[in-house]
Amino acid sequence: MSKTYQYLALVTLATVLVGCNKGETVAGAPKRPECIAPAKPGGGFDLTCKLAQQALKDINKYGEPMRVTYMPGGVGAVAYNKIVANDPANNDAIVAFSTGSLLNLAQGKFGQYSEKDVRWLAGVGTDYGMVAVNADSPFKTLEDLVKALKADPAKVSFGAGGSVGGQDWMQTAMLAKAAGIDPKNMTYVALEGGGEAVTSVMGNHIQVVSAGIAEMGPYVESKKVRVLAVFAPERLKGKFADVPTAKEQGYDIEWPVIRGYYMGPKVSNEAFDWWKKSFDTMLKDQQFEQLRGQRDLLPFSLTGEELSQYVAKQTEQMRTLSKEFNLQSK
């Protein structure tokens, strides 16, 4: 082999080796990143996973695309049990959760498992509960809805993603209680996720939908639904600026909805640290604030141990609230 070819061969080998070093996986980095949405497509869990998916691509610049897996069942129970019991060491997967998940945990709806059985990764945003109707509904205001409930609560059908005692049911129960109505007398249709609930109200299968207001953005803009009230301390900005709060309509109800992610109990510390550092970095980035805003979420940023402490406190408060409504609690 001539010296020229030997030189070219060495240069080529060196280039390959440098390329390999550049492509080396950072300790703990996922090989096939996945976000599990514990519901059907559409709704809050889907929104939460899509936020992580886009942020990982646009801000973190991670080379492997994140896939979103839908795992409906028990309003989060199927996904929770799968991760804890069957896939506890999955370093690639994060699972979306919300305040509703914590409420279900507080009531023992995730079986034998509690909030202590997973690793809480990141809380990335918050929105607020609300009640909405089809754009053609005779209910024009919250007061119209309350009057109909007082006349005959069984004739007004509410629907939401979750069973009796769940987050969205709890919002309607608090509204009923504030109006002097026994929540047990209301007609409530349990659906699998916010996406299905919104579809049902648009199809007039139910009269009122209870959900997080971030789930309603596209439908409000297309004028397919009308939000009667948001359960926030004051009016929101942007596309929801014209939506009155329940409080300003005489009903003192607030229901913030935290959105975030958890991981299995036996994931490696290296993997958990990679995900935590990634979210710490993304949460400080102005582009993440824009992505969050595009999904009608408000700022909320907690990761790792700080989030774990928040979850423990919130879950305990949920247990107390559940007892007030005579709901089974662990």
Report pLDDT for 72.
Answer: 92
Q: How many helices (H) and strands (E) does the chain have?
A: 11, 10
- Under the banding of pLDDT at 50, 70 and 90, the label for residue 162 is confident
8 A C-beta contact, residue 195 and residue 38: no
8 A C-beta contact, residue 172 and residue 202: no
Q: Give the start-to-end residue ranges of the domains of the chain.
A: 34-127+257-324, 128-255
Alpha-carbon distance 248 to 215, whole Å?
22
Question: What number does CATH give the domain 128-255?
Answer: 3.40.190.10
Percent of the chain with pLDDT over 90: 74
What mean pLDDT is predicted for residues 218-233? 94
Name the 3-class secondary structure at 35: strand
Tell which residue, 168, 193, 211, 166, has the closest CA to residue 40. Answer: 193
Whether the pLDDT of residue 116 is over 60: the answer is: yes
Percent of the chain with pLDDT over 70: 92
Report pLDDT for 196.
Answer: 87
Structure tokens at 28: 């703990």
Ordered alpha helix ranges (H), the chain: 3-22, 44-58, 77-81, 99-106, 142-151, 167-178, 194-202, 217-221, 269-283, 286-294, 304-324
Alpha-carbon distance 56 to 37, whole Å?
16
Beta-bridged to residue 128, according to DSSP, are 256
128-255 matches 34-127+257-324 in CATH topology: yes
- Under the banding of pLDDT at 50, 70 and 90, the label for residue 328 is low
Whether the pLDDT of residue 171 is over 50: the answer is: yes
Structure tokens at 162: 């979750």
Burial of 198 per CB tally in 10 Å (0-12, 13-18, 19+): buried
Beta-bridged to residue 170, according to DSSP, are none
- Helix then strand then coil, in percent of the chain rounded to 5, is 45, 20, 35
pLDDT per position as a tens digit, 228-258: 999 999 999 888 999 999 999 999 999 999 9
Chain mean position to CA 241: 22
Kindly report the average pLDDT of the chain as a whole number: 89
Please state which of the ranges 117-121, 196-200, 273-277 shows the lowest mean pLDDT: 196-200
Whether the pLDDT of residue 265 is over 50: the answer is: yes
Name the 3-class secondary structure at 61: coil
Angle at 96 between CA 287 and CA 168, to 5 degrees: 110
End-to-end CA distance of the chain: 77
8 A C-beta contact, residue 240 and residue 230: yes
Angle at 36 between CA 33 and CA 37, to 5 degrees: 140
> For domain 34-127+257-324, which CATH number applies: 3.40.50.1000, 3.40.190.150, 3.30.420.10, 3.40.50.450?
3.40.190.150
User: Which string of b and e fits 88-114 if b means at least 16 CB within 10 Å?
Assistant: bebbbbbbbbbbbbbbbbbbbbbeebe
